[in-house]
Amino acid sequence: MPAGPDSVRTIRKLLPFVSAGVALAALYMAYVFVSRWQENRRLESAAAEAARAKAQREISAIYGDGKLRILDFYVAPGIISHGQKALVCYGVVNASSVRLEPAVERMYPAISRCFAVAPPHDTRYTLTVGDAQGHTATESFVLQVK
C-alpha cells in the first residue's frame, strides 16, 4: 500500500529529529569508545611503570651492593651422547673479566648468556670471574659424554 501525502509530510517533519537523534547517538558512542581507550592506555601505562619499578628494585637488591657474583653457571642437559651438543649458560654481575676453562667461546661479562659445546669426552668446565678490585669467584661442573 503506497504512502499517502500525509504520511510523507509526517516523515519529512520527523526526519530532522531522527537524524539529530542518530547523530547524538553516534557522538555518544564515539565518546564512550575514546574514553575507554584513554582509560585503558592510562591503566597500561601505570602497570608498565609498576613493572619497571619492581624490576629496578630487584636489580638493586641483586647488584646494588657492588659485590662480584656468579648468578648462574650450568649446562643443559648434564649428560649427552657423543657428537651431541649441550648449552653452557652463565650469568655474572659486577665482573670486569670472565674466563672459561677449557676455552671454547669468547667470554665477556653478561647477566645471562648461553652457548653450545660438543666435547668428545667428559669435560670439567670452570668459570672464573674477576672484578676491578682484584676479587675473583669460581664455579665448575662436569659435562658427561656417554
The answer to whether residues 113 and 87 touch, using CB atoms and an 8 Å cutoff, is: no
- Dihedral sign of CA atoms 121, 140, 108, 88 in order: positive
- CATH among 3.30.70, 1.10.3470, 2.60.40, 3.30.470 for 69-145: 2.60.40
Strand, helix or coil for residue 133: coil
Side by side, which strands form the sheet with 69-76? 69-76, 86-93, 113-117
Summarize the confidence of residues 111-134 as an average pLDDT: 95
3-class DSSP assignment, residue 76: strand
Contacts of 104-113 with CB under 8 Å at 24 or more apart are 111/71, 112/71, 112/72, 113/89
1: pLDDT strictly greater than 60: no
Residue 52 has pLDDT above 70, yes or no: yes
Q: Judge residue 37's burial from the number of C-beta atoms within 10 Å of its C-beta, 0-12 exposed, 13-18 middle, 19 or more buried.
A: exposed
Instruction: Determine the pLDDT at residue 110.
Output: 92
Cα gap 89→100, rounded to integer Å? 11
Using a 10 angstrom Cβ sphere, with 0-12 exposed, 13-18 middle and 19 or more buried, the burial of residue 122 is: exposed
Whether 63 shows a pLDDT value over 70: the answer reads: no
Q: How high is the pLDDT of residue 29?
A: 96
Q: How confident is the model at residue 2 (pLDDT cuts 50, 70, 90)?
A: low
Domain-wise residue ranges, the chain: 1-64, 69-145
> Measured between alpha carbons, how far is 87 from 76 in angstroms, rounded to an integer?
5
